[in-house]
Amino acid sequence: SDLINMWLAPSEIYYSQDSISTRFGKSTEHAGVLIGETLDDILSGTISIYDIDTIEVVYRDGDYISADNRRLWIFKKLEKFGECKEIPVTIVDEISSLKCAVSLSIDVRGNPGGHLWRTLDDSSSSSSEEETDTSDSDDSDDDTLSRGFANISLSSYRY
């Protein structure tokens, strides 16, 4: 298994493409699964954040860039929703030269699926009293979406 070289906040990691497919690739463990459904599965506790493989990043010109764009999309959403602060990453020497667009945001080509994450993503139209983006809130125990690792850095987890 890969060594985890460091822990980074997903928001600090750049995408290496300007768009991603809605489904995981054929060569992956989750082949054909919609990324939004995977995100829902983590948010609902069906699967664990630890079921998502560690992403690889390259350090280039002061930035951390990943070619694992669909997994990074999921991790960035989880961070936004307060579900993780840091993720383990493996530092690699290079990523595909085809993946050279460097951006902190990315377009999803089509419908990523899922529905639970959308209720969190669109807080403006949310009728829910549960706000996941209150960073100074210590009463996350009352949050029905809290799954134990909500306000804990993943670095407290040991593989």
Over the range 140-155, which residues count as b (16 or more CB within 10 Å of their CB) and which as e?
beebebbeebbbeebe
pLDDT range class, residue 136, cuts 50, 70, 90: very low
Residue 98: what pLDDT?
A: 59
Question: Chain-wide mean pLDDT for the chain?
Answer: 77
pLDDT range class, residue 30, cuts 50, 70, 90: confident
Compute CA distances 13 → 25, 37, 134, whole Å: 21, 22, 22
Check: CB of residue 99 under 8 Å from CB of residue 21.
no
Of residues 68 and 137, the one with the higher pLDDT is: 68
| List of residues 6+ apart from 60 with CB closer than 8 A | 102
Residue 24: what pLDDT?
A: 85
The whole-angstrom separation of Cα 99 and Cα 65 is 10
pLDDT range class, residue 55, cuts 50, 70, 90: very high
Half-sphere exposure of 69 (CA within 13 A, CB side): 26
Nearest to 99 by CA among 10, 14, 3: 14
Mean per-residue pLDDT for 94-115? 81
Orientation angle between helical segments 35-44 and 69-80, nearest 10 degrees? 40
Percent of the chain with pLDDT over 70: 71
Which stretch, 93-102, 123-132, 134-143, has highest mean pLDDT? Answer: 93-102
Instruction: For residue 33, count CB atoms less than 10 angstroms from its CB and return exposed for 0-12, middle for 13-18, buried for 19 or more.
Output: middle
Residue 126: what pLDDT?
A: 36
Nearest to 57 by CA among 78, 35, 72, 73: 72
pLDDT range class, residue 99, cuts 50, 70, 90: low
